[in-house]
Amino acid sequence: MTQVEPRPAARHRAPHHRPLPVDAERWPDVAAAPRASWPVRALTASVLRRTLRRLPLRARFADGTVLGQGGPLMEIHDPEVFHARIGTHGLIGFGESYMAGEWDTPDLVGVLTVLAAHAADLVPIPLQRLRGVWAQRKPDAQRNTPHGSRTNISHHYDLSNDLFALFLDESLSYSSAVFRGFPADWPLLPAAQHRKIDRLLDLAGVREGTRLLEIGTGWGELALRAAARGAHVTSLTLSREQRALALERVREAGYADRVSIELCDYREARGTYDAVVSVEMIEAVGAEFWPVYFQTLDERLAPGGRVALQAITMPHERMLASRNTYTWIHKYVFPGGLIPSTQAVEQTVREYTGMEVAAREGFGAHYAETLRLWRERFTDRSDDVAALGFDETFRRLWTFYLAYSEAGFRSGYLDVQQYLLTKERAAR
């Protein structure tokens, strides 16, 4: 039965919530008061309250009203602004409202997991049919052209190497680990990251003398482990910050003669290789360039070679419904990003390359644990993040991003796959 608590007496009211200070120059859309007409606010409030009543959570409003079927608590401090933001900017407004401190929760992952699990039902069907009218479209500036990709990648990965080092383990791996069991503890994360990397290198058949192309360097851990096997590695990245630190790590490890790290778009790659590895890079490619991306893998791979690919995936129907929508993640975290479906990956490989999908394994629960460890570490080191010059709005943004991602995997809305793609040997 829907839980609706009566308005409490004045003496039981929560203290007045003070809005968080927001730097209007740095965060103009978060600081700005949303402009929404009374009909828009009223319609939004009606739709939201109807939705919240049937969800397994508790949404408590400033007047003491609680809606929901029970579950994690969501405190809505400023309902009028909350409704105006969502009525004006949809889910972007929902995220911005959290950044502004207009709603909060003691269990952010729990609330977001509920919302992710019911993603297909949050918007009423009549409004879903009008998605093209109310949903914002991705800006052309975020297209992943060679120029656009450099800008998009820099937005996220050139923030600060010191920032990432605060919440990643010493391997500086920024993709899903593979654990032996759950729940995982922080000291187990480096070994779990190496287990993930070694599985990919094994899939690709990397050994002594292998010519390996890596698309997406990160901070160089995979290149280092491949070099330790005796491989000769060419690694491509668009992040200047990541390349600088990866080169330093390669030199310190004594592998400068085996590892080359180039500031280079995947479309500019040359040469042929025995193996190609790409870890969670396809999410930054964009649907219009998936054929080019997979053709590049095919063209760079020698006959008889192997590609090991790690990719985040989402359900195909949800991908089709949202592929052109501009989201909070696009605006604040990964501009130009798009998570593919397994169907989209396999169809693109089949239609545009001479390769075939030889194996695929999903392990989404491992990503949820990886993200939990990163999120907890980020929270524990909040003061250190602030000392680097990142304000409270940024810290709430990143807390929301990490929790939002974790919730995607915990709900089953997202998954992560390791693929093996093979290419037949040329006929004699």
Instruction: Tell me the DSSP string of 213-277.
Output: EEE--TTSHHHHHHHHTT-EEEEEES-HHHHHHHHHHHHHHT-TTTEEEEE--GGG--S-EEEEE
For residues 31 and 99, state if they share a domain.
Answer: yes
Residue 254, C-beta contacts closer than 8 angstroms, at least 6 positions apart: none
Is 10 part of any domain?
Answer: no
Q: Is 24 helix (H, G, I), strand (E, B) or coil?
A: coil
Is 172 part of any domain?
Answer: yes
User: Helices 146-157 & 240-253, crossing angle to 10 degrees?
Assistant: 70
Please report, for residues 108, 178, 185, 196, the alpha-carbon distance to residue 191 in angstroms, rounded to integers and kept in the order given. 28, 9, 11, 9
**What would the two tokens of residue 425 be?**
């040997």
What one-character DSSP code corresponds to residue 66? E
Whole-model pTM over 0.85: yes
Final residue belonging to a domain, choices 105, 134, 163: 134
Is 388 part of any domain?
Answer: yes
Reading the chain (428 residues) residue by residue, the pLDDT tens digits are: 444 444 443 333 444 566 789 999 999 999 998 888 888 889 999 999 999 999 999 999 999 999 999 999 999 999 999 999 999 998 999 999 999 999 999 999 999 999 999 876 766 555 555 445 546 778 889 999 999 999 999 999 999 999 999 999 999 999 999 999 999 999 999 999 999 999 999 999 999 999 999 999 999 999 999 999 999 999 999 999 999 999 999 999 999 999 999 999 999 999 999 999 999 999 999 999 999 999 999 999 999 999 999 999 999 999 998 888 999 999 999 999 999 999 999 999 999 999 999 999 999 999 999 999 999 999 999 999 999 999 999 999 999 999 999 999 999 999 999 999 999 875 44
For residues 67 and 110, state if they share a domain.
Answer: yes
For residues 178 and 315, state if they share a domain.
Answer: yes
Is 2 part of any domain?
Answer: no
Is 11 part of any domain?
Answer: no
Please report, for residues 78, 104, 105, 218, 372, the alpha-carbon distance to residue 61 in angstroms, rounded to integers and kept in the order given. 8, 11, 12, 43, 28
Distance CA(418)–CA(428), nearest Å, equals 31
Is 3 part of any domain?
Answer: no
Residue 327, C-beta contacts closer than 8 angstroms, at least 6 positions apart: 91, 92
For residues 224 and 271, state if they share a domain.
Answer: yes
Is 7 part of any domain?
Answer: no
Q: SS3 string of 159-178?
A: CCHHHHHHHCCCCCCCCCCC
Q: Is 121 helix (H, G, I), strand (E, B) or coil?
A: helix
Final residue belonging to a domain, choices 113, 134, 155: 134
Number of domains in the chain: 2
For residues 76 and 199, state if they share a domain.
Answer: no
Give the range of the structural domain holding residue 277, as residue numbers without chain letter: 141-423
Token pair 């998605």: residue: 131
Token pair 């991602």: residue: 405
Please return the burial class of 328, using the count of CB atoms within 10 Å of its CB with bins 0-12, 13-18 and 19+: buried
Distance CA(265)–CA(263), nearest Å, equals 7
Bridge-based pairing of strands 415-423 and 355-362 is antiparallel
For residues 250 and 174, state if they share a domain.
Answer: yes
For residues 221 and 364, state if they share a domain.
Answer: yes
**What would the two tokens of residue 410 be?**
């915990």
For residues 209 and 336, state if they share a domain.
Answer: yes
Q: How many residues are there in the chain?
A: 428
For residues 294 and 198, state if they share a domain.
Answer: yes
330: domain CATH number is 3.40.50.150
For residues 411 and 313, state if they share a domain.
Answer: yes
* Residue 417 Cα to chain centre, angstroms: 14
For residues 88 and 150, state if they share a domain.
Answer: no
Final residue belonging to a domain, choices 75, 104, 134: 134
For residues 77 and 170, state if they share a domain.
Answer: no
Helix ranges, 76-160 (H):
79-99, 108-117, 125-129, 131-134, 146-157
Residue 15, C-beta contacts closer than 8 angstroms, at least 6 positions apart: none
Is 12 part of any domain?
Answer: no
Amino acid at 281: M
